Amino acid sequence: MPSSGLSAPLRRPLFRRLAATYAINELGDWMGLIALSVLVYDETGSALATAALFIGTGFLPAMLAPLLVARVELPSPRFALPVLYCAEAAAFAGLALLALNFSLAGVVILAAIDGALMLAGRSLTRAVAASLLEPAGELRAGNAILNLAFTGGAAIGPALAGLVVAGFGVPTALFLDALSFYAIAWILFTAGEMPRAEPEPGQLRERVRAGIAYIREKATLRRLLLAQGAAFIFFAAVIPVEVIYAKETLGAGDSGYGLLLASWGAGMVLGSIVFAAIRKASLAYLLLFSTLAVGVGYLGLAVAPTLALACVASAVGGAGNGVQWVAAVSAVQELTVPGMQARVMSVLESVGAATPGIGFALGGIIATVVSPRAAFLVAGLGVFAIVVLAIPALGRNWAEPVETFDSIRVDGCNDVVLELIPGGSPIQKDREVRL
């Protein structure tokens, strides 16, 4: 694969637009997440209702996104992507109206629809970027830029969203979010033709089944997706207990909690810069050491006696997070043939949306029964266990692309082709990618 400088993808007008919309999308996701969380809690005062919202924005979309991607990859992405983002804009306009006339069921349903649209949009964007950059050997550089856009949006998004919600109210924040998605749709629609690998024809059911069959028959790809899904569980296990850990275990109060999250976010930005600087390094090593860094960060938090040391451990974990997700995305893309890019990426995005829910439950139970420190300890040890199990399962040369960009048909077999699956976050945005 030819080498390219980090700036090479930015010399392509289409990629500049893709990167800009990726950053705007992240800001919009934060705006929607915070506004909806405030809305549901203010209207219901119920933790269960808030949990229902998170299920609606995570688990349910993960089930729907692969089906949606299998459908929308058929038309030209120049039209499919703007339609997806216009649909997201309409969903948020509907949510803004529900903020004026509240209905929990309506909010959860529209949030689930938006979540599926969001995952599909990200998957299709990644597939277009792969088709654009892979032939020129610029995919790793492009992924590094998209990761910088993602982490930059994640660093700015929470503060901006909080200010808008506090200053103008939930309905205004949701309407502004809708406008941001219309802006994305316009940027992409006016970008001109977009490259893509022509997917095989066939009915929706057949295409979904072909995508599943493709993942099943590609042992390395399948094992990588499974390992990443298992890692997501432990990455997310500490999310529900961080506020308790900061305020009660460390006695640091609200400001301490904010510093802890800020340290993780700063680490993520640093990790993104590191990936951009060493993007030619082996993906296998990047995934190995970045995943271990997240585990080390959690173990450090488990034993940290003071807020200062906890912030150092959090920064280490965040740096690992900033490399781990983009390395996983790059590895999956390089192991996947062009015609399956969108469908396989939708699986990865869906895994990243669905499996953290298991981690939330695990961490909450451990913190309640034992302590918040125990939740960090279990999460850190779990991450290390995933690494130990994944190394022999993936093999020594798993990171080498197994197929060239144009070498084989989509299904890679002799059967008749009829033809199809996370992160930011930082998760739940600030860590969906710890994901």
Examine the fold and report which residue of 196, 211, 239 is the final residue of a domain before the chain moves on.
196
Q: Are residues 352 and 291 in the same domain?
A: yes
Q: Which residues pair with residue 432 across a beta bridge?
A: 426
Q: Are residues 291 and 364 in the same domain?
A: yes
Distance of CA 20 to the CA centre of its chain: 17
DSSP 349: H
Q: Are residues 141 and 258 in the same domain?
A: no
DSSP 190: T
Burial of 2 (0-12, 13-18, 19+ CB in 10 A): exposed
Domains contained in the chain, number: 2
Contact 313, 409 (CB under 8 A): no
Which residue is associated with the tokens 């998170």? 54
Q: Are residues 124 and 254 in the same domain?
A: no
Q: Are residues 363 and 377 in the same domain?
A: yes
**H/E segment holding residue 431:** strand 431-432
Q: CB count, 10 Å around CB of 73?
A: 27
Q: Are residues 170 and 233 in the same domain?
A: no
> How many Å apart are CA 338 and CA 78, to the nearest integer?
17
Examine the fold and report which residue of 137, 171, 196 is the final residue of a domain before the chain moves on.
196
Q: CB count, 10 Å around CB of 25?
A: 22
> How many Å apart are CA 70 and CA 200, to the nearest integer?
11
pLDDT, block means (10 residues), the chain with 435 residues: 68 92 86 84 77 75 83 86 94 93 91 89 89 88 86 75 84 92 94 77 76 88 92 89 84 79 85 84 89 96 94 94 90 87 87 85 87 94 94 67 42 35 36 38
Q: Are residues 322 and 181 in the same domain?
A: no
Kindly report the CATH number assigned to the domain that includes residue 283.
1.20.1250.20
Q: Are residues 333 and 363 in the same domain?
A: yes
Range of the domain at 372: 200-435
Examine the fold and report which residue of 139, 170, 196 is the final residue of a domain before the chain moves on.
196
- H helices within 190-247, ranges in order? 204-217, 219-236, 242-244
Q: Are residues 84 and 111 in the same domain?
A: yes
Among 119, 57, 110, CA closest to 421: 119
> How many Å apart are CA 128 and CA 146, to the nearest integer?
13
DSSP 9: G
- The pTM assigned to this predicted structure is 0.76
Q: Are residues 29 and 165 in the same domain?
A: yes
Q: Are residues 115 and 160 in the same domain?
A: yes
Q: Are residues 430 and 409 in the same domain?
A: yes
> Tokens standing for 226?
């499974």
DSSP 10: G
* C-alpha to C-alpha distances, 21 to 84, 98, 403, 424, nearest whole angstrom: 13, 26, 30, 16
Among 21, 122, 25, CA closest to 346: 122
